[in-house]
Amino acid sequence: MRSLIKCGALHLLPCTHSTMSTSISQHCYFNTAFTFHHQRPISSKLHLPSFSLKTHSNSLTLRDTLKLGSLKEAFQSLKIIFFNDPFAIQFNLEEACSLLLQLSANENALLQGQQLHALLVKTYGLHCSVFLDTKLVHMYGKCGSFIDAQKLFDRMRERTIFTWNAMIGACISNGNYVGAVELYKEMRILGVPLDAFTFPLVLKACGTLNERSVGAEIHGMALKSGYGAVVFVCNALIAMYAKCLYLDRAIMLFDSMKEKEDPVSWNSIISSHVAAGLSLEALSLLRRMLEAGVSSNTYTFVAALQACENPSFISLGMEIHAFILKSNHCADVYVANALIAMYAKCGRVEDAKRAFKNMIGKDYISWNTLLSGLVQNDLYNDALKHFRDMQNSGQKPDQVSVLNMIAASGRLGNLLNGMEVHAYAIRHGMDSDLQIRNTMIDMYAKCCCVKYMSHVFENMHEKDLISWTTIIAGCAQNECHLRALDLFRKVQLEEMNVDPMMIGSILQACGLKSETIKEIHGYVLKRDLADTLLQNAIVNVYGEVGNVDYARSVFESIESKDIVSWTSMITGYIHNGLATEALELFYSLKETNIQPDSIALVSVLSAAATLSSLDKGKEIHGFLIRKGFFLEGPVASSLVDMYARCGTVENSRKIFNIVKQRDIILWTSMINANGMHGRGNEAIDLFKKMTNENVRPDHITFLALLYACSHSGLIAEGKRFFEIMKDEYHLEPWPEHYACLVDLLGRSNSLEEAYHFVRNMPIKPSAEIWCSLLGACRIHSNKEIGEAAAKNLLQMDTQNSGNYVLISNVFAADGRWDDVEEVRLRMKGNGLKKKPGCSWVEIENKIHTFMARDKSHPQSNDIYVKLAQFTKLLEEKGGYRAQTKFVFHNVSEEEKKQMLYGHSERLALGYGLLLTPKGTPIRIAKNLRICDDCHTFFKIAAEVSQRTLIVRDANRFHHFERGHCSCGNFW
């Protein structure tokens, strides 16, 4: 045969619907007389009448024994007959060998098939009858010994159509679909007359290879040969057209069929629609089939259940389940397996478990289907238990089971269990499998075990693109960025075809290096690898490193933007402090046909929260309700946070109370909401309720709780919860927890205790800790401890400009202008600048931003006039006097006053007073801490104007009402 057949095996997935599984066996004449010889050859053409011969072991005839289907018993019967009366063998060898070869093929018993072949060679020589040689080709093909089938076929002197069909079947059984098509073409050239059973075989190959044109040509030949109307040929044609994504032709062919009483025809067209993702159409065909009175079978129910493997079709799936129960097909293992898969993919794991439990007989597919379903639904601990149950039941786990267990172990971060599964794979000879090794690399990466991850990769004899992509991703996830980049260079040196997924993995390894990202971006453009998924990733990483202009440029260049594209750009804006731009981009999304998903809405809620834009936040909340999003998970937590950061903690509480299933993130968000509004006792009550409901707090929860205590002056409570975190929950405090406790002690003027605590900490104090102590020293005028804190802070060479500003202000308060100048020069030398004060206010659904002493606003003159009039009113009625001691600049008193009058929060207030009706609240947000003088100014302003003034600064919320502030002067 041609070299193409000898080396052209393609390992493609088999068809989902087999039009004819026994085309060869139906064409071999198994009722031919049987002969067996011991001493001398008997002509294969000699046909003696068969007769009943009882063995010593039972009273069955040999033919009866063979037809029972047990290969072992059949061979035993031959052995007994042969040794008891070798001269009385008056039955036909051909029939015996034919049946035995068929049994060998059915049971994939290659060794027994080879023994029969040896017997035939000994009896007849190299060339048996065409019939037996054909049976041998069929047996070798079914048993996976394609080379033996090929050799036998090549040396046959005579071939029938059955021989050709057997060889085409061998090609298909062994994945050599190209060889099957080439054999068909050779048959055409040689003029071999085709039969009906040739077409389903070669059509299956065409469907797998997506050879639509060749399939259409074969269709024409089937019509020409008079087999086009044969039902199983039509079924094969329907399946071929469907797999070649030519569903219209498949439907046309089905509709043209005159005889549709055969359920196989209906199963073919239904399965074709399922494979094409047309579930609703598939279910409509099922309804037509039932209305036509065609009896459904196992394949019908399996296809129907596959069509329902989507949460939107779960009710239909349950109806089909009820129909299955009525039709008594529930005991069928294939149907039960499809039920498990359907329920698992729809997220109804309990129903999947119930279907599994009710099965009378479970095969390995049953166990694996439930195991895969548990992993797909993130029930990894349940998957581990199910795997143990599988072993205890006596069912031996196979490759699919092991793959699922490795994946579950990785996602749980359970290194010990992952290593146990790895050992199991080694013991059972599965560790050399490429897919298992790739999954092992991913598991060790997720378990942060870089050593074993690298060991598995380096000991792989065969590596594919997935292997390299997985190891690069694993290195990136474990911050081995240089190793990841080095591996990527090796991939390039080996001239492998890099795909977008690998580029996505290497982008994770770029860290905060903008130049490296640009290099990867250039590589992508040069190789023309930029699909939408990869462009989205590039937008995301540019946003993460602060290169917003590049992110925007890539975003605008994406031709087919999806919701991920928009979300990546929105997130990039938010990450870089451009919340206004994020909101504008979100509103421009309305002009497209793309619908926001929950992730996009959570991102834009963050933008509204950052700007304290209550109106925008409410609009987004309304959108969520109209579109039917459930208030749970990240959506609920984001709404709680948004309302809290927009100054309406009451709305946060309403959202919190609506949610039935509260996770740790929602509880923490609500605790934090109370904390930022100075409601420390409410935060503590929430914490107690949370623990009573057996929700275990984490590091973030305790951080929010300590923050709440700090901003409410709850010193004893804060110290107690700090100890509870360590002693009861065994959570090692982060630097942020220590900073919170230092801040708590410092604000209460327990500076000696705070300083002693910092000096005796088990970890090295961070810049945030010294900053908290220094801030408290400035408030309480403790020069000695403040000097020590400032010295330690300067030695840390921090890159936070706010820390230098705080040190400078402490020195300025003492009149140490030389030291102030030195700190400012140091800032300049480090390339740092003081962050300018910025405030914003939302008026008439529009956000207006003001900088300190800003005059860029279109109504700037009116604002300054209004503010001057209002300040004079406060001086006359409220006794306001500017406290210039809080201006840390070496200028005149009058200049200090003007600086105070020009603070950004006052300009925002002036604009609010100018445009909002009397008596309405005004909400202002500021990027820095509100100064002491402005704090006093707002208290008097709230009393004189008879308004509620709400100010969110960098630390917390201030609710000014009737001359008082919610912070109790503790901020």
> Which of 126, 150, 127, 129 shows the shortest CA–CA distance to 138?
150
Distance of CA 348 to CAs 142, 354, 380, 846, Å?
Answer: 39, 10, 15, 45
827 and 879 in a single domain? The answer is no
945 and 937 in contact (C-beta within 8 Å)?
no
pLDDT of 584 strictly over 90: yes
898 and 783 in a single domain? The answer is no
208 and 180 in contact (C-beta within 8 Å)?
no
pLDDT of 106 strictly over 90: no
DSSP tag of 877: I
Q: Quick one: pLDDT at residue 360?
A: 86
Q: Quick one: pLDDT at residue 505?
A: 86
Note whether residue 888 is domain-resident: yes
- When divided into structural domains, the chain yields a total of 2
Note whether residue 713 is domain-resident: no
Q: Quick one: pLDDT at residue 800?
A: 83
- Please give the share of the chain, as a percent, with pLDDT higher than 70: 90
For the chain, what is the radius of gyration of the CA atoms?
39
Per-residue pLDDT tens digits for 817-855: 888 899 888 888 888 888 888 999 999 889 999 999 989
Query: Is the four-CA dihedral 94, 96, 99, 102 of positive or negative sign?
Result: negative
Note whether residue 454 is domain-resident: no
The CATH number covering residue 755 comes to 1.25.40
pLDDT band of residue 760 (cuts 50, 70, 90) is very high
3-state secondary structure of 953: coil
pLDDT of 813 strictly over 90: no
pLDDT of 97 strictly over 90: no
Note whether residue 887 is domain-resident: yes
849 and 739 in a single domain? The answer is no
Per-residue pLDDT tens digits for 193-207: 999 999 999 999 999
Question: Last residue of some domain: 835, 868, 892?
Answer: 835
Q: Quick one: pLDDT at residue 96?
A: 76
642 and 615 in contact (C-beta within 8 Å)?
no
Interatomic CA distance for residues 766 and 3, integer angstroms:
71
Per-residue pLDDT tens digits for 903-920: 999 999 999 999 999 999
The enclosing H or E element of 276 equals: none
Task: Considering only residues 75 and 355, tell me which one the structure prediction assigns the higher pLDDT.
Answer: 355
What would the mean pLDDT of 277-287 be, rounded to a whole number? 90
Question: Last residue of some domain: 814, 835, 856?
Answer: 835
Please give the torsion angle defined by the CA atoms of residues 215, 220, 225 and 231, in that order, rounded to the nearest 10 degrees.
70
873 and 898 in a single domain? The answer is yes
Q: Quick one: pLDDT at residue 20?
A: 31
Note whether residue 352 is domain-resident: no
Q: Quick one: pLDDT at residue 68?
A: 52
Per-residue pLDDT tens digits for 640-671: 999 999 999 999 999 999 999 999 999 999 99
- For the chain, give the mean pLDDT: 87
Residues spanned by the domain of 948: 839-965
Note whether residue 781 is domain-resident: yes
pLDDT of 44 strictly over 50: no
Note whether residue 757 is domain-resident: yes
Q: Quick one: pLDDT at residue 126?
A: 72
Q: Quick one: pLDDT at residue 60?
A: 45
857 and 762 in a single domain? The answer is no
pLDDT band of residue 18 (cuts 50, 70, 90) is very low
Q: Provide the pairing of β-strand 922-926 with 846-851.
A: unpaired
825 and 852 in a single domain? The answer is no
Task: Considering only residues 33 and 76, tell me which one the structure prediction assigns the higher pLDDT.
Answer: 76
pLDDT band of residue 801 (cuts 50, 70, 90) is confident
Sequential DSSP letters for 54-69: --SS-S--HHHHHHTT
Q: Quick one: pLDDT at residue 66?
A: 54
Q: Quick one: pLDDT at residue 46?
A: 28
pLDDT band of residue 634 (cuts 50, 70, 90) is very high
Assigned token pair, 746: 């410092």
Question: Last residue of some domain: 835, 869, 899?
Answer: 835
Distance of CA 863 to CAs 620, 916, 946, Å?
Answer: 31, 13, 20
Q: Quick one: pLDDT at residue 48?
A: 28
Per-residue pLDDT tens digits for 310-343: 898 999 999 999 989 888 777 789 999 999 999 9
859 and 935 in a single domain? The answer is yes
740 and 764 in a single domain? The answer is yes
866 and 795 in a single domain? The answer is no
803 and 884 in a single domain? The answer is no
User: Can you tell me which residue has the tokens 């060991």?
Assistant: 455
852 and 892 in a single domain? The answer is yes
Phi and psi of 932, rounded to 5°? -65, -40
Interatomic CA distance for residues 256 and 114, integer angstroms:
46
pLDDT of 91 strictly over 60: no
Q: Which alpha helices (H) appear in 377-414, and where do they start and end?
A: 380-392, 399-412
875 and 781 in a single domain? The answer is no
Phi and psi of 613, rounded to 5°? -90, 90
End-to-end Cα spacing for the chain: 88
Interatomic CA distance for residues 312 and 280, integer angstroms:
10
Q: Quick one: pLDDT at residue 446?
A: 94
278 and 248 in contact (C-beta within 8 Å)?
no
